[in-house]
Amino acid sequence: MQIKNLSINFSTSGQIIHAVQDVNLNLDHAKITAIVGESGSGKSVTARAIMGLLEKNAIITSGQILHDDDFQFNSDAQKTQTVDLLTLSNKQMQKIRGKSIAMVFQDSFAYADPTMKIGYQVAESVRAHNPRLPKYEVKELVIQWLEKVGIKNARTRYNDYPHQFSGGQLQRILIAAALINSPKVLICDEPTTALDVTTQKVILELLKELSSQTDTKILFITHDIAVVANIADYVFVMQNGRVIEESRSIYNPKEAYTQQLLQIALNKQKINTLQIQEQNSQILTATGISVQYGKKHAVKNVSLSLHENEVLGIVGESGSGKTTLIKVISGILYAQKGDVNYHGVSVAKMSKSQKARFRQNVQMIFQNPNHSLDPRMKIEDIILEGVVNYNVVEKNAQTQYVKELLQKVHLDEKLATRYPHELSGGQKQRVSIARALATQCEILLCDEPTSALDVQTEFQILNLLREIQQETNLSIIFITHDINLITQYAHNIIVMHNGQIAGYGNTHEIIENPTDEYIVQLLESVPKLQVHQ
């Protein structure tokens, strides 16, 4: 397959966006080809263009997508020939989709029909292209493939619904549905981004294994350069709708942008050797925290302590209880068992005025800045809301105070009068940080503050947090699913698994000498770049 000079525009409310510009891609170089790029780089749009699944407001202004296969809609059937997919009608594309080119998407739960048995959904792929195949043969084929992708008890699970599977299992099933017709090309659009790292590793291995068994070529789309290094034999780098670089290896980039991406990824693998200074006192302790939802323990017997000027990382996969834990620490949720002490006072037993002080001193930064900033408030009002509430500065000093805070988070002071939707994701998250700092807090609770951001922006936000933490006396609890993210910054880390602590201690010690089996597995699963040169 070859893509030549592809350009795609989107028209949204009168504006024209050049999503893909003059892109050339060739899948003949290798078995597994990757496109790496940030959100908005045009990588997904390119993939959808191949499938003929673009939104209605997309206009293909130029280009060709050449594809070789034996097409049956021509009179001289079964003969291999090259066609330009962009010239085909929707009816003709239906015969190619799922048969000759298949696709796997990001969020397996969203991309599986919740009301249809999974066996039927896989069988649909077969029946759409072989309508005459008898029903029992289709079923046998589906079961065979479900077993192939590692679904246990495939025959009984055939009749289960998507919600009865985990995200990783469901993604395997959708991979089976895509590969069941032995397509020439399989497009994987961030197939592991919504999954935990341990699951990601298994899915990547499955894809590699399946591609080596068949002659299916894989086009793998991702934002994660470490994943590319682990799976692809050839890589295209996209930025702002253009392919800026292509090569056999990700390790010797020519473009500055790619070099930067690689450097950030390599930096993430570094582990700090920070120690907490001994004179720093404990400001917050939690002892024996347990939270139950029904019969299920979300958090079970967790204790921790936070010192002055400490960065404490809490790492865990989805469902590990890390978000529940931070809710208890922030006083949003009361634990059924255990106690949180702030400067020696139990949060549960605080008086009204003590509680107000606690709320002022413990501030939170949330995952998605698009949801945590009121869209109808100006930036300065957002920052001042807490300031006014806790009476931090005099009324006539407020404007100056906002300016200082914006400077502190490296934002232009002119943004003060703008609304959130006029800012980029990174800028919004900076506003969230400024808002938290505005109350002159002592503890900052960060709940995955960078997971909605691009790699470069994530790097900048983390650096900003570190800078602020070193300048002031701030303590930070940083929650993340990405263990690599926190090893450069945190003094101590907690690894959580199934609501319990799998490891707690100095970052360097935990990473270098993991004592718990789960931590070993977690560290092994994280896709790594080789450090050489």
Closest distance between another protein and the C-beta of residue 51, in Å? 6
Q: Which tokens in the block code for residue 269?
A: 């693998």
Residues in the interface with another protein (CB under 8 A) total: 31
Identity (one letter) of the amino acid at 322?
K
Beta strands in 27-121 (DSSP E): 32-36, 58-70, 80-84, 101-104
Enumerate the H helices of 6-57 as residue ranges. 43-51
- Say how far residue 484 (Cα) sits from the centre of its chain: 13
- In the list 69, 124, 233, 308, the residue contacting another protein (rule: CB under 8 A) is 124
What's the N-to-C CA distance of the chain in angstroms? 35
Q: Which of 9, 64, 94, 280 binds another protein (CB under 8 A)?
A: 94
> Using CB under 8 A, which of 45, 51, 302, 406 touches another protein?
51
**Closest to another protein by CB, 299 or 347:** 299
Residue closer to another protein (CB basis): 217 or 430: 217
Q: Does 10 bind another protein (CB under 8 A)?
A: no
Q: Is 163 in the site for another protein (CB under 8 A)?
A: yes
The correct pick among 68, 69, 107, 246 for binding another protein (CB under 8 A) is: 107
Q: How far apart are CA 210 and CA 145, in angstroms?
A: 11
Joined together, the tokens standing for residue 412 give: 């232009």
Q: Which stretch binds another protein (CB under 8 A): 173-181, 427-435, 460-468, 501-509?
A: 173-181
Q: How far is the CB of 447 from another protein (least distance, A)?
A: 21
Out of 11, 16, 74, 116, the only residue in the binding site for another protein (CB under 8 A) is: 116
Reported in sequence order, the residue ranges of 336-422 that DSSP labels E, i.e. its strands, are 337-342, 345-346, 362-365
Which of residues 116 and 397 has its CB atom nearest to another protein in the complex? 116
Query: Smallest Cα–Cα separation from 261: which of 220, 227, 218, 231?
Result: 227
Q: Is residue 443 near another protein by the rule CB under 8 A?
A: no
Going by the DSSP 8-state scheme, the letter that residue 531 receives in this structure is -
Token pair of 267, please?
């930096």
Helix 135-148 vs helix 167-179: crossing angle, to nearest 10: 130
Residue 129 binds another protein, judged by CB under 8 A: yes
Tell me the C-alpha distance between 460 and 447, whole Å: 17
The Cα–Cα gap between 463 and 479 comes to 16
DSSP 130-183: -TTS-HHHHHHHHHHHHHHTT-TTHHHHTT--GGGS-HHHHHHHHHHHHHTT--
Residue 86 lies near another protein (rule: CB under 8 A): no
Pick 117 or 378: Cβ nearer another protein: 117
Of the candidate residues 44, 46, 125, 367, the single one contacting another protein (CB under 8 A): 125
Q: Identify which of residues 53 and 520 has a Cβ nearer to another protein in the complex.
A: 53
Span interacting with another protein, options 64-72, 99-107, 399-407, 476-484, rule CB under 8 A: 99-107
In whole angstroms, the minimum distance from the beta carbon of 128 to another protein comes to 5
Segment 289 to 328, residues that bind another protein, using CB under 8 A: 293-294, 296
Binding site for another protein (CB under 8 A): 51, 53, 94-99, 102-103, 105, 107, 110-116, 124-125, 128-129, 161, 163, 174, 177-178, 293-294, 296
